[in-house]
A and B are shown apart, each in its own frame.
Chain A
Amino acid sequence: MSAGARSKKKLHFSKIYSFNCGRRRFNNDDDHSQIGGPGFSRVVYCNENGVSEVGNQNYADNYVRSTKYTPLTFIPKSLFEQFRRVANFFFLVTAILSFTDLAPYTAVSAVLPLIVVISASMVKEGIEDWQRKQQDHEVNNRKVKVHRGGGVFEPREWKKLRVGDVVKVEKDEFFPADLLLLSSCYEDAVCYVETMNLDGETNLKLKQSLDVTSTINEDSSFSNFKAGVKCEDPNASLYTFVGTMEFQGQQYALSPQQLLLRDSKLRNTDYIYGAVIFTGQDTKVIQNSTEAPSKRSGIERRMDSIIYFMFFIMFLMSFLGSIYFGIVTKKDLNGDQQKRWYLAPDRSDVYFDPNRAPVAALYHFLTGLLLYSYLIPISLYVSIEIVKVLQTIFINNDIHMYYEEADKPAHARTSNLTEELGQIDTILSDKTGTLTCNSMEFIKCSIAGTAYGRGVTEVERAMAKRMGSPLIVNGRDHYFDSDSSLSVKGYNFEDERITNGYWIHEQRSDVIQKFFRLLAICHTAIPDVDEETGKVTYEAESPDEAAFVIAARELGFEFYKRTQTTISFIELDPVSKKRVERTYELLNVLEFNSARKRMSVIVRDEDGKLLLLCKGADSVMFERLAKNGIEFEENTKKHVNQYADAGLRTLILAYRELTEDEYKAFNEKFTEAKNSVSADRDDLIDQATEGIEKDLILLGATAVEDKLQQGVPECIDKLAQAGIKIWVLTGDKMETAINIGFSCSLLREGMKQIIIILESPDIIAAEKAGDENVISKISKESVKKQILAGKAKVSASTSDPFALIIDGKSLAYALHDDIKNTFLELAVRCASVICCRSSPKQKALVTRLVKEGTRKTTLAIGDGANDVGMLQEADIGVGISGVEGMQAVMSSDIAIAQFRFLERLLLVHGHWCYRRISSMICYFFYKNIVFGTTIFLYEAYTSFSAQPAYNDWYMSLYNVFFTSLPAIALGVFDQDVSARFCLKFPLLYQEGVQNTLFRWRRIFGWMLNGVSSSIIIFFLCIRALNPESYRKNGKTAGMEAVGATMYTCVVWVVNCQMALAVSYFTLLQHIFIWGGIILWYIFLLGYGALPASISTTAYRVFVETLAPAPSFWFVTMFVSIAALVPYFSYKSVQMRFFPPYHGMIQWIRYEGNCDDPDYVNMVRQRSIRTTTVGFTARSIARDNNLYHLNLERHAPK
Chain B
Amino acid sequence: MDEALRTKPSSRKPKYSRFTQQELPAWKPILTPKWFITSFVTIAILFTPAGLLCLWASEHVVEIVDRYDDDCLPDSYATNPETFIQSKNTNKTCVRTLKIPRKMTAPIFIYYQLDNFYQNHRRYVKSRSEKQLRDPDDEDETDDCKPIENLNGNEGGPIVPCGLVAWSLFNDTYKFFKGNKVIDIDKKNIAWESDKKYKFGSEVYPKNFQKEGLIGGGQLDESKPLSEQENLIVWMKTAALPTFRKLYGRINTDLEANETITIVIQNNYNTYEFGGEKKVALSTANWIGGKNDFFGISFLAIGGVCFFVAITFILLYVFKPRPPGDPTYLSWNRNQPAQ
Q: Which residues of A contact B (CB under 8 A)?
A: 104, 337-344, 347-349, 351-352, 393-394, 396-399, 402, 404, 407-409, 723, 798, 912, 941-943, 945-947, 949, 973, 975, 979, 990, 993-994, 996, 1020, 1022-1043, 1063-1069, 1091-1093, 1096, 1099-1100, 1104-1105, 1109-1111, 1114, 1118, 1121-1122, 1125, 1128-1129, 1131-1133, 1135-1141, 1143-1144, 1146-1151, 1163, 1166-1169, 1194-1196
- Do B285 and A1029 have beta carbons less than 8 Å apart? yes
- Do B274 and A1137 have beta carbons less than 8 Å apart? no
User: What residue of chain A has the Cβ atom nearest to residue B317's Cβ?
Assistant: A1136
Question: Which of chain A's residues have a CB closer than 8 A to the CB of B131?
Answer: 1093
- Do B43 and A407 have beta carbons less than 8 Å apart? no
Give the contacting residue for A1063; candidates B28, B118, B243, B292; CB below 8 A. B28
Give the contacting residue for B20; candidates A393, A1038, A1136; CB below 8 A. A393
- Do A340 and B239 have beta carbons less than 8 Å apart? no
- Do B30 and A1135 have beta carbons less than 8 Å apart? yes
Give the contacting residue for B238; candidates A945, A993, A1038, A1121; CB below 8 A. A1038
Give the contacting residue for B26; candidates A104, A399, A1064, A1137; CB below 8 A. A1064
Docked Cα-Cα span, A768 to B339, in Å, equals 47
- Do B107 and A1034 have beta carbons less than 8 Å apart? yes
Tell me the minimal C-beta distance from A180 to chain B in angstroms. 34
Docked Cα-Cα span, A947 to B124, in Å, equals 10
| With A1065-B27, A1092-B199, A1125-B302: A398-B123 Cβ-Cβ less than 8 Å | no
Docked Cα-Cα span, A944 to B243, in Å, equals 16
- Do B26 and A1065 have beta carbons less than 8 Å apart? yes
User: What residue of chain A has the Cβ atom nearest to residue B289's Cβ?
Assistant: A1030
Closest 9 A-B residue pairs measured CB to CB? A1028-B290, A1144-B325, A1034-B109, A1138-B329, A347-B147, A1042-B240, A342-B168, A947-B122, A397-B20
Most buried by A among B9, B287, B302: B302
- Do A1110 and B287 have beta carbons less than 8 Å apart? yes
Question: Which of chain B's residues have a CB closer than 8 A to the CB of A979?
Answer: 22
Question: Which of chain A's residues have a CB closer than 8 A to the CB of B33?
Answer: 1132, 1136
Docked Cα-Cα span, A1118 to B51, in Å, equals 10
Docked Cα-Cα span, A994 to B243, in Å, equals 51
Question: Which of chain B's residues have a CB closer than 8 A to the CB of A1121?
Answer: 43, 47, 302
Residue B13 at the chain A interface, CB threshold 8 Å: yes
Q: List 11 A-B contacts (CB under 8 A).
A: A339-B275, A941-B240, A942-B118, A947-B122, A973-B24, A996-B331, A1031-B289, A1035-B192, A1063-B28, A1129-B313, A1135-B31
Give the contacting residue for A1167; candidates B20, B167, B332; CB below 8 A. B332
Docked Cα-Cα span, A851 to B241, in Å, equals 56
- Do A348 and B123 have beta carbons less than 8 Å apart? yes
User: What residue of chain B has the Cβ atom nearest to residue A942's Cβ?
Assistant: B120
Give the contacting residue for A1104; candidates B14, B47, B192, B331; CB below 8 A. B192
- Do B121 and A943 have beta carbons less than 8 Å apart? yes
Docked Cα-Cα span, A979 to B24, in Å, equals 12
- Do B21 and A397 have beta carbons less than 8 Å apart? yes
- Do A1034 and B20 have beta carbons less than 8 Å apart? no
Give the contacting residue for A1150; candidates B30, B123, B241, B309; CB below 8 A. B30
Question: Which of chain B's residues have a CB closer than 8 A to the CB of A1144?
Answer: 324-325
Docked Cα-Cα span, A342 to B120, in Å, equals 12
- Do B288 and A1111 have beta carbons less than 8 Å apart? yes
Please give the number of chain B residues whose Cβ is less than 8 angstroms from any Cβ of chain A in the complex: 109
Question: Which of chain B's residues have a CB closer than 8 A to the CB of A1141?
Answer: 325, 330
Give the contacting residue for A1163; candidates B11, B39, B292, B325; CB below 8 A. B325
Question: Which of chain A's residues have a CB closer than 8 A to the CB of B113?
Answer: 1027
Question: Which of chain B's residues have a CB closer than 8 A to the CB of A1099?
Answer: 194, 198-199
Residue B270 at the chain A interface, CB threshold 8 Å: yes
- Do A1029 and B290 have beta carbons less than 8 Å apart? yes
Tell me the minimal C-beta distance from A842 to chain B in angstroms. 31
Question: Which of chain A's residues have a CB closer than 8 A to the CB of B194?
Answer: 1092, 1099-1100, 1104
- Do A1032 and B240 have beta carbons less than 8 Å apart? no
Question: Which of chain B's residues have a CB closer than 8 A to the CB of A1118?
Answer: 47, 298-299, 302
Question: Which of chain A's residues have a CB closer than 8 A to the CB of B322?
Answer: 1137
| With A338-B273, A1038-B238, A1166-B327: A1028-B24 Cβ-Cβ less than 8 Å | no
- Do B298 and A1026 have beta carbons less than 8 Å apart? no
Give the contacting residue for A1038; candidates B237, B299, B313, B326; CB below 8 A. B237
Docked Cα-Cα span, A1039 to B238, in Å, equals 6
Question: Which of chain B's residues have a CB closer than 8 A to the CB of A723?
Answer: 332
Docked Cα-Cα span, A1111 to B21, in Å, equals 47
Question: Which of chain A's residues have a CB closer than 8 A to the CB of B216?
Answer: 341-342, 344
Tell me the minimal C-beta distance from A592 to chain B in angstroms. 36
**Partner-binding segment picked from B175-183, B204-212, B245-253:** B245-253
- Do B289 and A1167 have beta carbons less than 8 Å apart? no
| With A1028-B283, A1028-B291, A1147-B325: A1036-B111 Cβ-Cβ less than 8 Å | yes
Question: Which of chain A's residues have a CB closer than 8 A to the CB of B121?
Answer: 340, 343, 942-943, 945, 947
- Do B287 and A1032 have beta carbons less than 8 Å apart? yes
Further pairs besides A397-B14, A1030-B289: 17, Cβ < 8 Å: A338-B273, A343-B124, A397-B15, A407-B9, A942-B118, A973-B24, A973-B26, A1028-B63, A1039-B237, A1042-B240, A1064-B26, A1064-B28, A1111-B289, A1121-B43, A1137-B329, A1139-B329, A1196-B327
Question: Which of chain A's residues have a CB closer than 8 A to the CB of B332?
Answer: 723, 990, 993-994, 1167, 1169
- Do A1039 and B324 have beta carbons less than 8 Å apart? no
Residue B32 at the chain A interface, CB threshold 8 Å: yes
Tell me the minimal C-beta distance from B198 to chain A in angstroms. 5
User: What residue of chain B has the Cβ atom nearest to residue A1191's Cβ?
Assistant: B327
